[in-house]
């Protein structure tokens, strides 16, 4: 795409569109380094200010990122995941056209902390199953998951092939434990050592923490998870309806 100084479209927007096209068509694939500012100025015959404005816009859109002392690089694509129903990671990634996979880091029985005990409605210190996995989309680490299950059910699940079988599917299809609803709690946190190492990011990097308790029939909790998602690779969206104010009149037909 050539820059047209006579076009009503601002120069920085034209440059941004040209850079975006090169990213989308694979000229600059994910992880590749963009030309330097001087090279872009020469390429488009525009001012540094125009180039910087276009670059900042692409940064704001999450398409490129500046690495201090190294240059500007095309980022991995950001996955947008809807939070509108109870689904598992594998279901989510497949519905978005990505290939999910997992690596199991640990599976063992542990003593339930106060938080885990409250979520699963067991005594603090009771034995529960803990499964730690890295979940990936197209080979890229997306989340570090800690899953806690009541001991009897958890011992069965831990014996399964958890790198190829989703826990939700095992619960529902193999262990006759239907998942009816879940409670979500979301927070923005800084990654600590264990999570950072698992996801291959710097300690202190921003991540999403989702605490999810899934319930079976009779509102019985069967699965408590801490899901640590990379903040640079995923965003969550939901849709809300407005509750009608008490006493408000219904619209006239």
What domains can be seen in the chain, in order of their start residue?
A: 11-74 (1.10.10.10), 79-237 (3.40.1410.10)
Residue 199: exposed, middle, or buried by beta-carbon count in 10 A (0-12, 13-18, 19+)? buried
Q: Residue 250: is its pLDDT beyond 80?
A: no
pLDDT of amino acid 132 = 97
pLDDT of amino acid 1 = 59
Residue 204 — φ and ψ, nearest 5°? 95, -5
The most confident of the ranges 9-18, 152-161, 185-194 is 152-161
pLDDT of amino acid 252 = 58
- Bridge partners (DSSP) of residue 215 are 181, 221
> Where is average pLDDT lowest: 21-35, 43-57, 172-186, 202-216?
21-35
Spatial separation of the C-alpha atoms in residues 168 and 89, rounded to whole Å:
9
> Where is average pLDDT lowest: 79-93, 201-215, 219-233, 239-253?
239-253
Spatial separation of the C-alpha atoms in residues 157 and 153, rounded to whole Å:
6
Q: Residue 169: is its pLDDT beyond 80?
A: yes
Q: Residue 253: is its pLDDT beyond 60?
A: no
For residue 100, what is the enclosing H or E element? strand 100-111
Spatial contact of 162 and 102, defined as CB atoms under 8 Å apart: yes
> Where is average pLDDT lowest: 128-132, 135-139, 164-168?
135-139
pLDDT of amino acid 59 = 83
178: confidence class by pLDDT, cuts 50, 70, 90: very high
Mean pLDDT of 102-112: 97
Tell me which of 50 and 242 has the higher pLDDT: 50
Helix axes of 48-60 and 11-24: crossing angle, nearest 10 degrees: 50
> Where is average pLDDT lowest: 28-32, 45-49, 143-147?
28-32
Model pTM? Answer: 0.69
pLDDT of amino acid 249 = 64
> Where is average pLDDT lowest: 36-40, 80-84, 98-102, 183-187?
80-84
């Amino acid at each position: 795409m050539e820059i047209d100084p006579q076009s009503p479209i601002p120069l920085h927007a034209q440059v941004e569109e040209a850079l975006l096209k090169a990213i989308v068509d694979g000229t600059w694939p994910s992880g590749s380094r963009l030309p330097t500012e001087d090279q872009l100025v020469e390429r488009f015959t525009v001012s540094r200010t125009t180039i910087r404005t276009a670059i900042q816009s692409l940064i704001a859109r999450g398409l490129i990122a500046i690495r201090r002392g190294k240059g500007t690089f095309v980022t991995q694509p950001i996955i947008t995941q809807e939070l509108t129903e109870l689904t598992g990671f594998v279901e989510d990634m497949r519905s978005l056209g990505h290939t999910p996979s997992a690596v199991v880091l640990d599976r063992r029985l542990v003593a339930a902390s106060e938080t885990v005990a409250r979520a699963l409605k067991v005594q603090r210190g009771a034995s529960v199953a803990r499964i730690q996995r890295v979940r990936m989309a197209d080979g890229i680490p997306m989340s570090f998951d800690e899953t806690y299950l009541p001991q009897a059910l958890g011992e069965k699940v831990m014996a399964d092939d958890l790198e190829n079988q989703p826990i939700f599917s095992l619960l529902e299809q193999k262990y006759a434990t239907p998942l009816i609803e879940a409670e979500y709690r979301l927070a923005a946190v800084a990654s600590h050592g264990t999570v950072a190492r698992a996801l291959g990011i710097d300690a202190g990097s921003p991540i999403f923490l989702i605490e999810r308790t899934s319930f079976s029939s009779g509102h019985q909790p069967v699965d408590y998870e801490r899901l640590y998602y990379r903040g640079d690779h995923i965003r969550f969206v939901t849709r809300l309806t407005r509750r009608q104010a008490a006493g408000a009149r219904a619209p006239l037909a």
